[in-house]
Amino acid sequence: MAQKHHFVITDNQDITRVGMRGYISSLFPQADISETRDKKALTEILATASATVAILDYTLSDFNTVDELLIAVKRFSDVRWILFSDELSEDFLRRISGEDNVSITLKENPESEILAALESAVAGERFVCRRISDLLCSTSSGSETEIKLTPAEIEILRMIARGKTVKEIAAERFSSTHTIVTHKKNIFRKLGVNNVYEATRYAIKAGIIEMMEYYI
């Protein structure tokens, strides 16, 4: 029997809760969906539920600081979180972007990105919408050392940006494809990107590859 997913929507806007419920039902018709309006009710549900995706509008919630939210994220580490808000500050985004179980999408995003965030959360994967990913990349200093990529990761990112496949990278580095896939996942997580296109954009901005190398 397929696992029955449980979603908790925490938002004090009726229209948002109704809309998100519709998105969830379209993807997972058998899902259990709970609705809450505040932190207390949310934490009570998370303390007893399993296979949970918590959808939270941080800007309208009664979480007072990012530290308070981070405590909840750490406490319920098996929960997949989706932050579903309007504008979020750059400082907040940088603080929260290091959490592997927290996805971020905006209310003004197209339907495709909202659905992708839901599907990623259920699959146990992190999703960051394109607008937030672009913001985090564009405001970085352009130094790969600040992102704390290892020398091996920098070289693999350079090869990815040049269009090489996992098999080709593994052959050139005398590594297994599993090792390269693991490196790739770590690189994407550290950069806060979701695909090769976004990783390539970062590599160009950071000077890891030249624009001419990308077009060749």
Element (H, E) at 45: helix 39-46
State the pairing for strand pair 32-36/6-10. Answer: parallel
CATH topology of domain 141-215: Arc Repressor Mutant, subunit A (1.10.10)
The Cα–Cα gap between 192 and 199 comes to 9
Amino acid at site 114:
I
Any residues with CB less than 8 A from the CB of 37 and at least 6 apart, and which?
A: 10, 11, 12
Q: Give the tens place of pLDDT for each residue, 33-90.
A: 999 999 999 999 999 877 699 999 998 889 988 889 999 999 998 999 999 988 777 7
Q: Give the tens place of pLDDT for each residue, 119-175.
A: 999 999 999 998 888 777 765 544 443 557 787 888 899 899 888 999 999 999 888
Nearest to 198 by CA among 114, 125, 109, 138: 138
Confidence at 199, pLDDT banded by 50, 70, 90: confident
Q: What is the pLDDT of residue 142?
A: 47
| CA dist 60 → 12, 21, 29, 110, 115 (Å) | 7, 18, 28, 21, 21
Q: Which two tokens stand for residue 30?
A: 């058998």
Domain(s) of CATH 1.10.10.10: residues in the chain:
141-215
Nearest to 46 by CA among 14, 1, 11, 10: 10
Instruction: Determine the distance from the C-alpha atom of residue 204 to the mean position of all C-alpha atoms in its chain, rounded to a whole number.
Output: 22
Residue with tokens 């009710």: 41
Number of other CB atoms surrounding residue 176 within 10 Å: 11
Range 6-137: architecture per CATH: 3-Layer(aba) Sandwich (3.40)
Domain(s) of CATH 3.40.50.2300: residues in the chain:
6-137
Find residue 83's DSSP bridge partners: 56, 104
Whether residue 84 contacts residue 11, with contact meaning beta carbons closer than 8 Å, is answered with yes
Residue with tokens 């090489």: 164
Q: Give the tens place of pLDDT for each residue, 182-196.
A: 899 889 888 888 888
